[in-house]
Amino acid sequence: MSVSPTMPTGTASVDHSEVALPRPVALVARAMSVAAGVLLIALIMLTVADVVSRNLRDHSIVGAVDMSTMLLVAAAFLGLASAELDGKHVTVDLFEARFAPRARWALSLLRAVILLALGVLLTWGLSEVLLSALERGETTNDVLRLPTWPAKAVLVVSFLAYFVVAVWKELRAHSELTADLADEQSGDHR
């Protein structure tokens, strides 16, 4: 459960809504979550094997620390998209519930724009970081000299997928608010 503490009015909601995403996007998000789970299991096994090896054979697995670190980088953000998709955020809303529908409509649009801008920024920036790691043949500092680009490639994909889901969700919410607004206006005319 992710907690995204925002501002309070005494109202809080746990948003359990599954957002209807285009099927391929949802599938990709789920697949990334499963991949992250597999990486975490590998992380557990590697650390346990390392301790066992140290006690039985009296020496550690070569490069276990390096491998663990790269596993962590790859697994850390892979679950972002599916966590956003499940949307189990506890949001506490101080102002918005009291706002007029039009103001809420505008805020939702603003959020969508900010999320889109951040998504573009990070996807572009992380790709640059990935390309530079590839060009320089960047590796870890330990004995194994593991290349860092695979983990960095996973970061690009993780953040891209996260922002696709987040922007999509916000746009859906926005279009619902637009519909509400239209309803209200037609109600006024009647």
Partner 1 sequence: MTATTAAVLVLVLLLFFGLLAIRLHVGLSLMSAAFVGVLLLRGTGAATSTVASMPFSTSASYSLTIIPLFILMGVFAVRAGLAQAGFDLASAALKRLPGGPALASLAGSGMFAAVTGSSVATVATMARVSTDAIVKAGYGIKLAAGVVCAGGTLGVLIPPSIVLVLYGVVTEESIGQLLLAGVGPGLLTIAVYAATIVALVSRQRRRQARRHGDGSTPPVDGGPRTSPQPGSQSRREENRAIGGAGSGSGTAVLSPSSEGQGTAAAAPATRLDLVGFLYLVVIFAVSIGTIYLGVATPTEAASFGALAAMVILLLRTRPPAWMRAVGESLSEAVGLTAMTFLLMTGAGVFTYFLALTGASTELVGWVLGADLPPYLALVLCLLLLLPLGMFLDGISMILIAAPLLHPILVGYGFDGIWLGVLIVKVAEMALVTPPVGMNAFVYSGAVREAGLGRVFRGIVPFILADVVVVALLIAFPDITTWLPAVSSTQ
Q: Interaction with partner 1 in 151-180: which residues (CB under 8 A)?
A: 151-152, 155, 158-159, 162
Number of residues in the chain: 190
Cβ distance to partner 1 smaller for residue 21 or 36: 36
Phi, psi values for residue 92, rounded to 5°: -110, 130
CB of 18 to partner 1, least distance (A): 13
In angstroms, the CA 158 to CA 160 distance is 6
In 57-100, alpha helices (H) = 64-76, 80-86
3-state secondary structure of 12: strand
Residues in contact with partner 1, counted by CB under 8 A, come to a total of 72
Nearer to partner 1, 28 or 78 (CB): 78
Applying the rule CB under 8 A, the residues between 101 and 130 that interact with partner 1 are 107, 110-111, 114-115, 118, 121-122, 124-126, 128-129
Q: Which residues of 49-81 are buried (b: 16+ CB within 10 A; e: fewer)?
A: ebeeeeeeeeeebebbbbbbbbbebbbbbbbbb
Q: How far is the CB of 156 from partner 1 (least distance, A)?
A: 10
Least CB distance to partner 1 at residue 45 (A): 8
| Ranges within 26-85 binding partner 1 (CB under 8 A) | 33-34, 36-37, 40-41, 43-45, 47-48, 50-51, 65, 68-73, 75-80, 82-83
| Rounded Cα distance, 5 and 141, in Å | 38
